[in-house]
Amino acid sequence: MDAGMDADMDDGLATYNFAYLDEQTKRMIRRAILKGIAIPGYQVPFASREMPMPYGWGTGGVQVTASILGPDDTLKVIDQGADDTTNAVSIRAFFAKVADVATTTETAKATVIQTRHRIPEERLTEGQILVYQVPIPEPLRYLEPRETETRKMHALAEYGLMHVKLYEDIARNGHIATTYAYPVKVEGRYVMDPSPTPKFDNPKMHMSDALQLFGAGREKRIYAIPPHTDVVSLDFEDYPFEIQHFEEPCALCAAQGVYLDEVILDDRGGRMFVCSDTDYCEKRRAEGHRGHLAGDTLEAAE
C-alpha cells in the first residue's frame, strides 16, 4: 500500500518496524526525550525495552537513536572515540539493517552521532544530535545507593554530598582525582553524570551547538542538554576544575590539545600516545600531518 507497509514485508515474511522499535515504544521514548529537553539534566524515567544486545552494550543509546532516527539521517557511531571497534561497528550495522540509514565515520557529515564515552574532537554544529550511551545515570549513586534518597536530593537540589566527595579527593590526593564521569551542574540546577567520558570532554558540553541526549537502558533513564546550555563542572575556588594535559602530541598525526590513548608497544616499556578520536586522526593524516611514529619513513625504506 505505502512505503511503510513495504518496509514491513520482505518476501512475504514480516520483518521489523522501521528502526526496530514498535511505534508505541517510540512514542513513549519521544515523550521522555521532550521532557528531558524541557528539564535539562533531570533524569526522566522511561520503560526501557529489551534490545537484541545485552545491557552494557548501549541499549539506552540505541533506543534513543531508534526513536529519533529518520530515513534522511546520516548516522555515526563511536566507541571510546573509535569508529572501528566492536560496539561501534555492530550498532552502526544494526541501524543500517533495521532503518536503512546512511552511515558515516566523518563527524561533520553525521546528523546523529551515537557515542560511548567520548565527544568528538571536531566541534559539533547546529542541527547535529549527540546520543550518549550511559551505564549509571545517577551521579549520586555511589554516594547514596537508595533511589528514594537520591531522588529527594535532586528534588531539593541538595548536592552537598557530591562536594564532600570531591573534597575527600583533595584531602587524600592533593587534587580532585576524578578523571571520568566528572559531575556537572546543568543550567544551575541539576547535578548530572556526563556518562563515563573523560573530564577532558566536559568543557565541550558547555554551550554546545548540538543537542545532547543521554540514554541509560538498564537503569531506564533518559536525560538531555539542549544546545546553548550552561554546563559547569563542579569544583572549588581554590581547586578549580582542570582537564587532562598530555606531554607529547599524537604519535600518528602530531595533534596537540586532543585526548590521547596510551598504546603499549612491547614488554620493555615501549609505548605510544595516539588520538582516541580515530576520525579526527585520520583526517589530520590525510591533510599531511605526521607524528613521529606515522610509519612513512618505514614505507619509504621498503
Partner 1 sequence: MAAGAHIVEGGFADPVFASQSVFRAVMDAMARPGPVQAIDTDLRPPAPLNIAAAAVVLTLADADTPVWLGQDLARDDAVKGWLAFQTGAPLAGLPSEATFAIAANAAALPSLSSFALGTQEYPDRSTTLILQVETLTEGEALTLRGPGIKGSETVAPRPMPGHFDMQWRENNALYPRGIDIILAAPDAVACLPRTVRIGEGES
Residues that bind partner 1 (CB under 8 A): 2-4, 7, 17-18, 23-24, 26-28, 30-40, 42, 44-45, 67-71, 151-152, 154-156, 187, 189-190, 211, 224-230
CB of 126 to partner 1, least distance (A): 8
The active-site residue out of 160, 253, 257, 288 is 253
**Catalytic residue of the set 61, 81, 217, 250:** 250
DSSP output for 120-179: -SSPP-TT-EEEEE-S---TTTTT---HHHHHHHHHTT--HHHHHHHHHHHHHHSS----
253 is catalytic: yes
Residue nearer to partner 1 on the CB measure, 223 or 280: 223
Q: Which is nearer to partner 1, 230 or 261 (CB)?
A: 230
Question: Are 215 and 222 contacting, i.e. CB atoms less than 8 angstroms apart?
Answer: yes
Quick check: helix, strand or coil at residue 192? strand
Give 17 or 178: the residue with its C-beta nearer to partner 1. Answer: 17
Angle between helices 23-38 and 59-68 (to 10 degrees): 100
Catalytic annotation, pick one of 41, 58, 60, 61: 41
How close are the terminal C-alpha atoms of the chain, in Å?
61
Give the shortest CB-182-to-partner 1 separation in angstroms.
21
CB of 241 to partner 1, least distance (A): 21
Place of cell 557530591: 162
| Residue carrying C-alpha cell 570532554 | 201
Query: By the 8 A CB rule, do 197 and 218 touch?
Result: no
Q: How far is the CB of 37 from partner 1 (least distance, A)?
A: 5
Cα–Cα distance for residue pair 129/63, rounded to 1 Å = 14
Shortest distance (Å) from residue 141 CB to partner 1: 16
Q: What is the CA radius of gyration of the chain?
A: 21
Instruction: Provide the minimum distance between the beta carbon of 73 and partner 1 in the complex, in angstroms, as a whole number.
Output: 9
CB burial of 29-52 (b: ≥16 within 10 Å; e: otherwise) equals beebbebbbebbbbbbebebbebe
Report the residue number, 33 or 250, with the smaller CB distance to partner 1: 33
Return the number of the residue (39 or 272) whose C-beta is nearest partner 1: 39
202: phi then psi, degrees, rounded to nearest 5: -55, -45
Q: CA–CA separation, 137 vs 130, rounded Å? A: 16
Q: Is 275 in the active site? A: yes
* DSSP H/E element including 92: helix 86-98
Taking the least distance from each CB to partner 1, the nearer of 182 and 190 is 190
Q: Is 281 a catalytic residue?
A: yes
Q: Would you please indicate which residues are annotated as catalytic (active-site) residues?
A: 41, 250, 253, 275, 281
